Amino acid sequence: MATHVRICTHTVLERIHPSLALRSIHDERGRIITRFAELVEKHADELAVLESLDAGKHPAVTKAVDVGNAAGSLRYFAGAADKIHGETLKMQGPFQAYTLREPLGVAGLIIPWNFPTTMFAIKVAPALAAGCTMVVKPAEQTPLSALYLADLAKQAGIPDGVINVVPGFGPTAGAALASHMNVDMVSFTGSTEVGRLIMEASARSNLKPVYLELGGKSPLIIFGDADLDMAVELAISANFFNKGEACVAATRVYVQDSIYDRFEEKLAERMKSWVVGDPLTDARVNQGPQVDKTQYERVLSYIDQGKREGATLLTGGRPCGQKGCYIEPAVFTNVKEDMVIAKEEIFGPVMCLMKFKTVEEAIAKANDTRYGLGAGVVTRDLDVANRVVRSVRAGVVWLNCYFAMDSDCPFGGRKMSGFGKDEGMQALDKYLAVKAVVTPLRGSPWM
């Protein structure tokens, strides 16, 4: 494998002045990534259909959100390709020093099945901007979009060998990538259990750096002064967007006791109009099928577990339709913090509804989890908002909104939700090595 991107410049520039040729390398890299973004936008319909066929995603939502995010990320990092700078250092004694930020080498990128197009782009884009080559391992459930995107990358002018897509299963293809001696780093999005395996493989091979975006059990805290209708809609979208197959889904919904009963009533009424079905054949559909039978059965087993533990099923929770992996969204009330459904990541349309009284209690409950990926706060009180935002241990906190993401906004977790950032300029750091260069000053004993 090549160790970094090499994009040829026009030899005429080299004849005129070497610095012009050097500048054009970074400029051309940015232009090619921009062309890649344009092709992603041009073929949004095809990508949306592939995502729907592979993962049961709603094609209209996928086109607007997933494909839009992918193109946005490529454009964002295209602009960063010629803005990677080092620093000048002040040293003691007769020396001067500076740093270079160089491509780390070969990046192993392992992407999940819930947002395949988005995750492909937000990992590939900064790696390209940094000048790395990469091996992308898509999830075995959803390989089609990655293969299609690789073809678009070739059409954009990205040289052969820079982006390599290797479909396969985690225990074989993923494990080989994590343990390969010629892979210089791994960026993985998926479960905490697999994240541990990747870290172990890195330690046993070449000690490659590993960056992990893992599971979540995110809280949504709704205070008594919230707009009730808005809060209900926010809780629904924060839980059931993408069929609940989202690591940052706010599956623990805490509602202040002063509005809890009214919130529960409005939520139950609103869920009556929620439509589950085939998003390719019915434009009214809010929620498609779970990604596969394994995940479908996993979600149903958690719903059964919740009922056995004594939680009350307010709405849904049943298989839907005569065939396919469809589940009515489940809303549980009377949930206790020590119940399995309140502690473990389900990765499906299951909401746990719980009460709290004080700000202190809300913060304590929100932090009572091994995860730390996201959190949401709904309140009109700025003092309460500031206090909770600063107290909740999570990688991203949304105030009076949820799932708002952007290429400039770093995304990643804390605790067992992993470490390292996707998106934002911080994402570039994963793909760059810092080299210090030290030279003696003229007139020193070494000159």
Residue numbers annotated as active site:
213, 247
Q: Answer yes or no: are the C-beta atoms of 75 and 165 closer than 8 Å.
A: no
Three-class DSSP labels, 124-184: HHHHHHHCCEEEEECCCCCCHHHHHHHHHHHHHCCCCCCEEECCCCHHHHHHHHHHCCCCC
At 440, is the secondary structure helix, strand, or coil?
strand
CA distances to 195, 246, 279, 325, 329 from 320, rounded to whole Å, are 33, 20, 14, 8, 10
Provide the residue type at 92 as one letter: Q
Please give the Cα distance from 192 to 189 (Å, whole number).
9
Contact by Cβ (8 Å): 208, 185: yes
Is the CA virtual torsion 262, 266, 267, 269 positive or negative?
positive
User: Which residues are paired to 108 by β-bridges?
Assistant: 135, 186
> At a CB cut-off of 8 Å and minimum separation 6, what does 226 contact?
259, 378, 379, 380
